[in-house]
Structure 1
Amino acid sequence: MKALLRDDGNWGVRDEAFCLAVRSYSGDIAQLLLQHGADPSRRGPDELLPLREAVESGSPALVEALLHNTILGRRPKSELQEMRDLARHWHETGVETELRRRTGSQDPVACTRVQDDEYYSIDEFTLGGTTVRDGHGAILTDLEELLGARTSFEELMDRALAHTCQDHTAWARATIQLAGRRDQATWTAAAALRTNPDPSHRLFGAEVLRLTHLFDDRDEDPFAGPALDIFIDWSAEETDPAVLTEVLVALGEHIDPRTEAALLPYAGHPDARVRRAVAQGFSDWSSPPAFSGDARTALLALMADPDAVVRKTACRTVAEARDHNPVFADAMAALLDDADRLVQLAAVYGLALHNDERCVEAARLLGPPQRGSLEEDSYLDAVWRYEWRRDGR
């Protein structure tokens, strides 16, 4: 679909495709079409899926598509309030319980994990021929925000923690909304979770704190200093790998000399998620004009890590840094024979950015990017840009 949208210049088809996507409950495709210029306002209300059906489907992506700003004005406040109450009913009752009530079936419920939009996944339940996703908590959060309600920190946290996966849409909606408040009360509530005995609570608190700083585009950035201080201390005491990963990712978003010292102890951590966070977090911007000797040693080791994502992440960090030490170019060249294609492409990308001629032949051997892969496109585009610079064009 991404490839077709890039190649197709018929904008009118996008609007028709959007209608088809929402009527077939394909919220992820509807979102993609919106990103590529579909305009729902050109379609009549009778051509779109009723909002009630979208809410009952449990797909936040589908509901979001039907609440797009081009058609939101068609929705009276009373309808949004009614849909909020419907989402709350599903959320508080539970998908499985509500499905059994509606179908009358006592058969086993089939449950699968599915992608709901480009970034987040969700659980999908099927019983008696009816399929519903469990995103009603996220839908409720969205509708409350549209209606101007300020849901408490505790209630949003409960909606997130009702799901065990951090990539569930309900979790994401809760942390993003809380982080967007950027106030001291929310910061204090999230920071207090650092000492909670339950790792899921600590993870939620760490993500809210990280996003609060990340989303703050004010010049004074009042949460930058407190965020760095709390994450440095937190990294030294956290034992849960998932929480530690979130803390280290947060540290890597700060350009400060103290970041490197906090990351280095975890470069050899047994959990690959932690090592990826370390590889992503190193920055030579905090130690100009190059990586420190310890960081360079750690990055070279991470580029040879058993985990392919760790290797790729370390390679990208080195590629995009200002430190063009020849040892890094040789390490990237060694990855041109890696078993993982994306690692090979990251190495080609890095060599191109380091103005190393070896990228040209390596790119030729890899061939064209896979159709629809923006990541491969960006990696190989760097080689074209290198050749342009080399030839003085």
Structure 2
Amino acid sequence: MKRLLREDSGPPDVGDAAFRLAVRAHSGAIAQLLLQYGADPRQSAPGSLVPLREAVDSGSPALVQALLDDRIRGRYAKSELLSMRDLARHWHETGVEAELRRRTGSGDVVTRTRVQDDEFNSVDEYALDGITVRDGHGAILTHLEELLGVRTSFEELMDRALAHADQNHTAWASATILLAHRRDQATWTAAAELRTHTDPVHRLFGAEVLRLTHLFDDSDEDAFAGPALDTFTDWSAKETDLSVLAEVLVALGEHAAPGAQAALLPYAGHHDTRVRRAVARGLSVWPSPPAFSDAVRRALRELIRDPEAGVRQDACLTIAEGKDRDPVLTDAMSALLDDEDRRVQVIVVYGLALHHDERCVEGARRLGPPQPAYPDEERYLGEAWRYEWRRDGR
């Protein structure tokens, strides 16, 4: 669908018709994608879209958000939004399986499948007696409360996220993002206090809220930068759970400070892949310094030879986009032109092109055209083509 939208040159109203079809088919992810590419929901008559109640019942946050796009939100009276909030709360508190059994009266086995709800987040989908419902009602409730101007407590938002205990679940993402955008001291303190919680899932939630609070702060003051760096540096030395440690290290990597790199380096040889990937990504400081320190160079040379393809890919990307043009690092990248993983090869070609290294041309030629399954390949391989054009004076 993304490829079709990028290549589309048809009439502008095709996207509007596709949006209506996607909503009627309960394809919230496709509806959201069409909105991103310019579909105008205002061209949809109220009767051409599913009712908001039906969308809330479906349990798909992506579908509900498509219907509540700011261009058509005025169609819904506040009383209807309040009623939909109560409906979402009922589903969330009752539980999808229990509510399905109540509505169908069926005692059959409920099937449960993890599905992608939007571009970034997933949900569980339950099916019973011909009815299919997703368990995104907690995220829908959070979204409706935000639209209605309701300030939900930190504790309640955390409970909604932890009901799924999965960072990729849309209920978790909606809670952490909303709390991070508050950027107030009370929220910061509540999240920071979770560092000492005995349950690692609580610590993971707190770490993500703190990380996103700093990440989303684009103000000149950046009031949470200093406290975040101190907090995560201390936390990384004490954390025992690997999922939480990886999140803390990712947070450290989002700080352009020498202290952050110093805290990352001891974990470059860690036994857990998630931890090593966090280090490989985190060593890419932005804005990038003219040269990496000797310790960072040594770590990157090790990470680029890692047995896990994801770690090699992240290390190559850090070298590629850094300003350090050390030929030892460039040669280390070129050694992976024949890597068994295509994604690693693509990043190597991209890095060699940025380093103005002739070997990118042959590497790109051997890889062939970008693969549709990876939309960013066109950008990465395009860097090699641009290098060739500049080289040939075109």
TM-score for both structures, normalised by structure 1 = 0.98
- Deviation at 1:223? 0.4
- Tell me how many residue pairs correspond in the alignment: 393
- Deviation at 1:8? 1.2
* Matching of residues 1-393 of structure 1 within 5 Å: 1-10=1-10, 11-283=12-284, 288-371=289-372, 373-393=374-394
Contact 2:253 2:285 in 1 (8 A): no
Contact 2:59 2:136 in 1 (8 A): yes
Which amino acid is 1:306 matched to?
Answer: P
- Deviation at 1:358? 0.3
> What CA distance in whole angstroms lies between the structure 1 residues aligned with 2:50 and 2:287?
51
State the secondary structure of the residue aligned to 1:125. Answer: strand
Structure 2 portions without partners, runs of 5+: none
State the secondary structure of the residue aligned to 2:133. Answer: strand
Deviations, residues 97-119 of structure 1 (Å, cap 9, x unaligned) = 00010111111110010000000
Which amino acid is 2:351 matched to?
Answer: G
- Deviation at 1:185? 0.2
Deviations, residues 176-231 of structure 1 (Å, cap 9, x unaligned) = 00000000000000000000010000000000000001111110111000000000
Which amino acid is 1:368 matched to?
Answer: P
Deviations, residues 7-32 of structure 1 (Å, cap 9, x unaligned) = 11222110000011011111111111
Deviations, residues 63-101 of structure 1 (Å, cap 9, x unaligned) = 000000110111111111010000000000000000010
Deviations, residues 210-265 of structure 1 (Å, cap 9, x unaligned) = 00011111101110000000000000001111101110010001000111110011
> What CA distance in whole angstroms lies between the structure 1 residues aligned with 2:382 and 2:44?
38
Structure 1 portions without partners, runs of 5+: none
> What CA distance in whole angstroms lies between the structure 1 residues aligned with 2:14 and 2:137?
31
> What CA distance in whole angstroms lies between the structure 2 residues aligned with 1:172 and 1:112?
19
Deviations, residues 351-386 of structure 1 (Å, cap 9, x unaligned) = 000000000011011000012632111111111221
TM-score for both structures, normalised by structure 2 = 0.98
Contact 1:249 1:281 in 2 (8 A): yes
Task: Report which stretch shifted further, 184-193 or 275-284.
Answer: 275-284
With over 3 angstroms needed to count, the CA separation of the structure-2 counterparts of 1:44 and 1:230, relative to structure 1, is: same
> What CA distance in whole angstroms lies between the structure 1 residues aligned with 2:339 and 2:289?
31
State the secondary structure of the residue aligned to 1:363. Answer: helix
> What CA distance in whole angstroms lies between the structure 1 residues aligned with 2:287 and 2:370?
34
Contact 1:345 1:380 in 2 (8 A): yes
> What CA distance in whole angstroms lies between the structure 2 residues aligned with 1:120 and 1:288?
34
State the secondary structure of the residue aligned to 1:337. Answer: coil
Runs of 4+ in structure 1 off by over 6 angstroms are none
Contact 2:288 2:322 in 1 (8 A): no
